[in-house]
Chains A and B, each alone.
Chain A
């Protein structure tokens, strides 16, 4: 997936000139469904300490999307810090505020909230056999929504 991302970036199939010259292609992270089944692969493009963009590929390497946080070429002011998306300790520290009494926190995994557009880190919490997930995205932390809604 990383090679495919590099190929698309270098060939002009994704991203712009400034990304081609400045971005690092990070290692691919598995995006898993709520039951931890593999859904797709997330390949980050970082510029310095910022997450500038990312690729999302299906397991057969079909390109699902190329998404950029940049509002303008060469402008990373609107891009989130890399650690918000790629540092498991940062994700866990954000989720701590949602730990219930007696609950233990498991290892976060990259997932999505209902649709693969809404990438989140899913943090599993457990207590006496009961398990639940908490979603972390940037500085937003919330429980998976219930009911049929658009949000």
Chain B
């Protein structure tokens, strides 16, 4: 097997083209060339963390991609950018000129790019592997040598040099190493595939007999079989400005072929009448479970989840069960989910919910997708059919 440092172009090609295919990377990345080699970026402990590959369109530098070779980074693709070009030679010339201003007689036998405070980069001048000067990139200010004591790991002060490798807690290091290797293992399975990986293209990974799962998504179907027809779910607008819980319960029960209108559900949930409607007090959130079970003669076994995470929604949809979702002051139902399987390191992959929202009154909207990271999920309810 080739060393990781010899595979940076291939890994960059797979990662960037995967992101391009899912449109995480936009049109500005289309037809950008990926070079065979990049600039090694060191940790201050002397180990190589990642390679910065200059991205070019024709002969014009347009950006860069950082490809990790150290497992502590957790993912091979550390970062990528279009708009800030990376020109190693020009930076070395500028940095060397700046260093001469600090010390006209500066002697050195090696110059390294160092992530002295990840992801901030500096030029390190060395003599026989010992640092004689370190200047931060672009502003060419000297990076102080002293490091603060008695601080927590990974919480450096401004402009302080610190080692990402040395300061990573053991449990986090193990978790990151595991995800790093898992990602490389995916790419290793494609070794015999003849992809064109020296250029970014939205179609680069779209070749015959090859399917790569870029997105995990599901909506309610007729059954748990994905080959069954969908959408087996209908939107109901709330009939008054305070009956979102009634409308949400109606949608869930309709899915299981129980037909109760909102007037009847309001009666059961204590939501008044059409002429004098009431909202559901927060103290009565448990009533939703009781009403679902009562109105189905306990054929449905309802469950309430407090502060539900994304996995609760995903698992219920995979089991072909809709959910009622309470957010501050409002209630809606969830009939599907999507999550991106590709993302940049340190960025949360996109997660979204398919929401059948009874608001506005007498209309409602279907939201495809609600960004999971931007909402507060207080309670969720699902129901399982009791079987003999």
Chain B CB count within 10 A is highest, among A65, A113, A150, for A150
Contact yes or no, B360 A150, CB < 8 A: no
Contact yes or no, A138 B330, CB < 8 A: no
Q: How far is the CB of B364 from chain A (nearest CB, A)?
A: 8
Q: How far is the CB of B266 from chain A (nearest CB, A)?
A: 11
Contact yes or no, B282 A149, CB < 8 A: yes
Instruction: Chain A residues near B326: list those with CB within 8 A.
Output: 150
Asked whether A48 is an interface residue with its Cβ less than 8 Å from the other chain, the reply is: no
Q: How far is the CA of A150 from the CA of B365 in the complex (A)?
A: 18
Asked whether B241 is an interface residue with its Cβ less than 8 Å from the other chain, the reply is: yes
Q: How far is the CA of A113 from the CA of B242 in the complex (A)?
A: 11
DSSP majority for the A interface? Answer: loop
Q: How far is the CA of A115 from the CA of B375 in the complex (A)?
A: 9
Instruction: Chain B residues near A147: list those with CB within 8 A.
Output: 279, 281
| Chain B interface category by residue count | 35 or more
Contact yes or no, B281 A148, CB < 8 A: yes
Asked whether B308 is an interface residue with its Cβ less than 8 Å from the other chain, the reply is: no
The one of A118, A135, A142, A149 in contact with B280, judged by C-beta atoms closer than 8 angstroms, is: A149
Asked whether A71 is an interface residue with its Cβ less than 8 Å from the other chain, the reply is: yes
Q: How far is the CA of A11 from the CA of B20 in the complex (A)?
A: 13
Interface string of A37-66 (1 = CB under 8 A from B): 000000000000000010000100011111
Contact yes or no, A118 B329, CB < 8 A: yes
| Chain A interface category by residue count | 35 or more
The one of A63, A66, A148, A151 in contact with B245, judged by C-beta atoms closer than 8 angstroms, is: A151
Asked whether A96 is an interface residue with its Cβ less than 8 Å from the other chain, the reply is: no
Asked whether B332 is an interface residue with its Cβ less than 8 Å from the other chain, the reply is: yes
Quick one: which of B287-330 are within 8 Å of A by CB? 326-330
Contact yes or no, B279 A115, CB < 8 A: no
Quick one: which of A77-92 are within 8 Å of B by CB? 78, 80
Q: How far is the CA of A137 from the CA of B360 in the complex (A)?
A: 7
Q: How far is the CA of A27 from the CA of B328 in the complex (A)?
A: 29
Chain B CB count within 10 A is highest, among A115, A138, A139, for A115
Q: How far is the CB of A30 from chain B (nearest CB, A)?
A: 17
A-B contact list, 21 entries, CB within 8 Å: A65-B369, A66-B367, A67-B367, A68-B365, A80-B360, A114-B328, A115-B329, A117-B332, A117-B355, A117-B357, A118-B329, A118-B359, A119-B360, A137-B360, A138-B361, A138-B363, A142-B241, A145-B242, A148-B281, A149-B280, A149-B281
Closest 5 CB pairs of A and B: A151-B279, A114-B329, A151-B242, A149-B279, A67-B365
